[in-house]
Structure 1
């Protein structure tokens, strides 16, 4: 549950993505192509920021952040505190650095910052890493990926901006590198095996978990991630081939004839169980008292598993988030052996 809420709390330190505002691609330089001075400066800044996060040094991070974000640091400070607890005793290692030249960016006609694209060719091959960063002010940027290896490995990614000769933090993206004890490549391999066995629901969700673990943050794409998403699309069960949403829900009938409208499916590892959980978002007309809401969630989970029984063997349990317009979701979690 904590991880689910964290995804909503982690600040991207950027405006929302407006596809209409995307500009022509800017210049990206990978670590093998940049000068040693740039590479060393970016790596040193990333390592320094990661060390501050590990030490829960909120004041130090605030001082190392670009001015427009440093002035209101409370949200980021909360994220740092939560993340620091996961990094104790871990070994910090810089994995990748990218230099992103956005000095030629132009503001939109309304004065807002444009969205920026950076295409990074890897070792002059067809493989590439792409950045589509929303609301980016003109400037010289860097992106640094730092791994912290410990009892539970984590990854800290930083968007940096060069201000008055120094690299300062302009974005912070922490994430776990494992779920239920396995990394993203393991989930990718399992998803392929599930797809081969025609376990399409399990495969689709395991591909989703693989992407979550392998993607540094939402605005970073790569050739490998595109391959993963292509495999996921090919493995999707017919009911998910066009996606599900509030306008196109997955409708499942329960044993009592009631219809349950699911508007989102994902996965979660917040309980630290031996397997990950299914997360299902349930569209409801209105909130109910606790007892009624709890039973409704339990009945919805039961209906979901009755319709797609293969989910029972690949997951620990099911989270149901009952969502009514304008109201807080009502969330419950049950292990598979508790759902009848």
Structure 2
């Protein structure tokens, strides 16, 4: 139901005690051998993904991560179906030298930080990777073109110190469009919405823009930072402190029933002409299916009654209801079904 989640081969939590920044080399500053080697390895891995070659990908994975390959098969199969027949084009490669990384006092690995200046300008791309083992790494972004919708296959690569070859350490596939539009389109639309004082629509479109423009969660950039600043400036007052379990968005229905939303987002899983709003609802008990379905429908109705501008910018509303110790209950209704 929800968008395909990023497949991580690397394990690790965001750890305290960040290390000093390691060395990043952009493709324009690399030696031809490094640049060509990374690009060739990325193309080979992309071809394996397109072919659904799970065993081939596992064989090409660094030994430290090959044993954590469970679950990758479904991700590869789903991605292969979306990218089959397309032309893989290596768009960008980075060389990340983490050979000097040291363990923390407790034996854990720190967050590896790589700050990459672009073309000697103030623009920057930063990699903040938790739990990274010492070594020489590369990051490659491969865009698959010529398919029904464009996709990006990003790979974290680790160089085998004894053989010199680049091996897979992380795989991050994602669509580059949502409802037929790319991230820059959503960014432009969000700016226009903000000018029209459509704060809820703008905030959510900025969210969609960021999702499409950020290759993977551990990458930051000066451009993405600007987007986040614009989103914060455009946020409606009710979201000025964020939305989370300890700071829910409380919406009342016409009969006084309170709905506590602990998360808002966007979704394109239905492939409709517009993206959907997703709203996470917190309750104590789900109840039976009839009760849960009615509550979700009532919650969607209350949300749109409180913020009617959402009706024109989105296809519909997903309500995902969560209760401790129970499986989430999710429903989707198109805008014309919510009265």
Under TM normalisation by the shorter chain, which class is it? over 0.9
2:271 aligned counterpart, secondary structure: coil
1:208 aligned counterpart, secondary structure: helix
Match for 1:39 among 35, 40, 50? 35
Matched with 2:10 is: 13
Deviations 1:278-334 (A, max 9, x none): 000001111210000000000000000000000000000000000001211100000
Check if 1:257 corresponds to 2:253. no
User: Alignment length, in residue pairs?
Assistant: 336
Contact 1:12 1:171 in 2 (8 A): yes
Deviations 1:187-231 (A, max 9, x none): 000000000000000000000000000000000011110000000
CA distance in 2, matches of 1:251, 1:71: 45
Q: Compute the displacement of 1:119 (Å).
A: 0.2
RMSD: 0.9
What are the within-5 Å matches in structure 2 for residues 236-315 of structure 1? Answer: 236-315=235-314
Matched with 1:74 is: 70
1:212 aligned counterpart, secondary structure: helix
| Runs of 4+ with deviation above 2 angstroms | 9-12
Matched with 1:203 is: 202
Contact 1:262 1:283 in 2 (8 A): yes
Matched with 2:226 is: 227
Check if 1:101 corresponds to 2:75. no
Contact 1:56 1:81 in 2 (8 A): yes
Q: Compute the displacement of 1:11 (Å).
A: 2.4
Contact 2:7 2:170 in 1 (8 A): no
CA distance in 1, matches of 2:279, 2:9: 25
CA distance in 2, matches of 1:289, 1:153: 41
1:288 aligned counterpart, secondary structure: coil
1:304 aligned counterpart, secondary structure: helix
Check if 1:161 corresponds to 2:163. no
Contact 1:120 1:128 in 2 (8 A): yes
Please list every run of 5 or more consecutive structure 1 residues that lacks an aligned counterpart in the other structure. none
Q: Compute the displacement of 1:148 (Å).
A: 0.3
Contact 1:251 1:262 in 2 (8 A): yes
TM-score (norm 2): 0.98
TM-score (norm 1): 0.97
Contact 2:2 2:267 in 1 (8 A): no
Check if 1:27 corresponds to 2:23. yes
What are the within-5 Å matches in structure 2 for residues 90-169 of structure 1? Answer: 90-149=86-145, 150-163=147-160, 164=162, 165-169=164-168
